[in-house]
Amino acid sequence: MPGGCSRLCPGFVPAWPWLRGVVGLDPRTACLVRQPTGPVRPQDGGDTVSKRNIFVIGLSDANLRTLETVPDAVQYRFLPLLTLDELQVGEVSVPDLLEKAQYVLDAFDGTIDAIVGYWDFPVSTLVPLLAERYGTRSTSLESIVKCEHKYWSRLEQEKAVKEHPRFGRVDLSASDPRPPEGMSFPMWLKPALSYSSELAFGVKNQEEFGAAVAEIRDGISRVGRPFDHILDQLDLPPEMEGVGGQVCLAEESLTGIQVAVEGYVHNGEVTVYGVLDSINYPDSSSFLRHQYPSTLPAPVVQRLHDVSQRVIKQIGMDSATFSIEYFYDPGADALNLLEINPRHSQSHAELFEYVDGVPNHHHMISLALDKDPGVTRSAGPYRVAAKWYYRWFADGVVHGVPDQEAVRRIEREIPGVRVDMVPEEGQRLSRMPEQDSYSFEVAHIFTGGDSEEEMREKFDRCVASLHLAFDGIPPAGQDSTTA
C-alpha cells in the first residue's frame, strides 16, 4: 500500500509491525484499515446510515477524485487495495497479489461491501477471485477470461456475431513463422493478453512479420506466464485445451472509424449507456482522443448496440461493466469488432461526467452493490467531451513536468479542463509502463465544450501551458506532436 494512504483515507493507520511476514510487502509503507466510526447522512436526506466500505484495486489519486463525484458518494468509503506499481510493473505474480490483498482484507475490522477495479489484467481477474472469497458481487472469472484472452474471445464472438475480422494463431516456436492459412498482409500481431497494446504490431510484409514475432516471443512471458495461472483455475472447453496464455494471434487489419461502446449487465439484462468515437493521430495507430458522444448516424449506433448485446450475452457476463471497441467502414457500411474489455474505461469517466453529469464509475459501484445503475443522459454542463492523449513519438528524458499546483493552475485558467501528467520529472519515456509500440503518453487532457472546435482550442492551450521538453528538443506545443 502507498505510504500516502493516510492522506486519502482517514480510516487508515500504519500497519508495519504486523506485515513483516507477507511476501513482497514493504512493512514501512503498508497499511491496514480500522473500522470507521460514526454514521453518515445521505445527500438526499432520509435515515442515518453507515458508510459502505468499497475496496478499489489499484486506486489512483486521479480516479479517487472522480469516484468522489458519483451519486451518493457521501455514503461510500473508497479504500485502496494494492498499488499500481505492484499491479503493472515487471512480471506480476497472481498468487503473491492475492496474498497481499487477502492479508489487508482479513485484517480489516469492518464490513467488506464491495471489491472493484477498472484496470485490465491482473486487476480484472483479481476482482472475481476476491469476490468469491469475501462474498461480494462480481461477474464470473470465466467470463472475464473469455473477454481478455484474445483468441478465446474471437472463438466466442464467432458463435454470436459475424461482425469480426479473420484471425488465426501464430506458432511462436517455429523457426520460420508464417501467417495463418488464408490470411494476407497487412495484418496485426498481438499476444493473447497485453497491457495497453503493448507488443501489438501492424505488419505489411513477411520481413515485418518475422521481426514482430521475434519481439513478441521475447516479451510475451511478462503477462502470459501469470495469465497461465488464471487459465489453470478454469475448466476449459475443448477448443482451448493446450492453447495457454502465451499464444500469439494474427488478425486482418481493419479500416474505418474506430468507436467504443460502453455498457453494463445487471441480472442478465445488457444495457448500453454510451458510444464514443476514437480518433488517431494522423498516419498513426495511436489514439489522439476519445470523444463523447459519437458522431455516427443513429442507425449505425443502433447496430453497435445490437451486436454488443449479443456478444456480451454469449460471453455470459453479469453484474459487470464492459467496453467494446469496433471499426466502422462508412464506404462498405461494414462493422467489425476489435476487442472486448470486461470493465468500463476509466479513461472515459470525465467524459460521461462532463456530458451526462455522472462518471461511468457510477455503474461499476452500483453493480458491485447489487443495484441497477440506470442511464442518465445530457445532464452535464457540456454538449461534447474528449480525452486527449498528448504523446511523444521518440524516446527521450522528459523535463519541466509541472507539479500538482501548476497543473491545478492550468485547470483554473481554462474552464472545463482536467490534466493528468503521466511521466515523472527526469523519467526516460521508454521506461514508463503500459505504452503502445509506437509512442509515449506524456499527459492526458480532458476537455468539455459545446463544440469540437472549442475542445481543440482548450487542448492546444493546455499543451502550450505545460512547457515540456525532451532531451533538449524544443518545448512541446511547437511541433507536430500536438496534432
All domains of the chain in start order, with CATH: 5-138 (no CATH), 166-252 (3.30.1490), 257-482 (3.30.470.20)
Average pLDDT of the segment spanning 446-453: 98
Contact 264, 367 (CB under 8 A): yes
Highest averaged pLDDT of the listed ranges 43-47, 111-115, 169-173, 428-432: 111-115
Average pLDDT (5-22) is: 36
> What is the spatial distance between Cα 305 and Cα 120, in angstroms, rounded to a whole number?
23
Query: Model's pTM, two decimal places?
Result: 0.85
State the DSSP H helix or E strand holding residue 291, giving kind and residue range, or none if neither.
Answer: strand 287-292
Residue 212, all three cell numbers: 514482430
**Better pLDDT: 8 or 119:** 119
Dist CA 53 CA 406 (whole Å) = 33
DSSP 8-state secondary structure symbol assigned to residue 179: P
Average pLDDT over residues 207-232: 94
pLDDT of 21: 36
Q: How confident is the model at residue 206 (pLDDT cuts 50, 70, 90)?
A: very high
Q: Which of 359, 364, 321 is nearest to 340 (CA)?
A: 321
In three-state secondary structure terms, 196 is coil
Given this model, what pLDDT does residue 49 score?
61
**Res. 115: pLDDT tops 60:** yes
Mean pLDDT score, 324-347: 97
The model's pLDDT over 59-101, given as tens digits with 9 standing for 90+, comes to 999 899 999 999 999 999 999 999 999 998 878 899 999 999 9
Count of C-beta atoms within a 10 Å radius of residue 158: 12
Higher pLDDT, 306 or 200: 306
What's residue 88's pLDDT? 84
Residue 19 scores a pLDDT above 90: no
Q: What is the pLDDT of residue 473?
A: 55
Asked if residue 290 has pLDDT above 90, the reply is yes
Q: How confident is the model at residue 438 (pLDDT cuts 50, 70, 90)?
A: confident
CA angle 80, 86, 88 (to 5 degrees): 110
SS3 52: strand
| Alpha carbon 146 to its chain's center | 17
Please give the Cα distance from 127 to 13 (Å, whole number).
24
Q: What mean pLDDT comes out for the span 437-462?
A: 96
Sorted by sequence, the CB contacts under 8 Å of residue 30 that are 6+ apart come out as 1, 14, 15, 16, 19, 22, 104
pLDDT tens sequence across 379-424? 999 999 999 999 999 999 999 999 999 999 999 999 999 999 999 9
Least-confidence region, from 115-124, 202-211, 361-370, 435-444: 435-444
Give the pLDDT score at 3: 36
Average pLDDT over residues 203-223: 95
Which pLDDT value is given to residue 472?
Answer: 53
Query: Grid cell 475443448 — which residue?
Result: 238
Average the pLDDT over 103-118 and give the result: 98
What confidence score (pLDDT) does residue 223 get?
87
Q: Which stretch of 44-53, 304-313, 426-435 has the lowest confidence by average pLDDT? A: 44-53
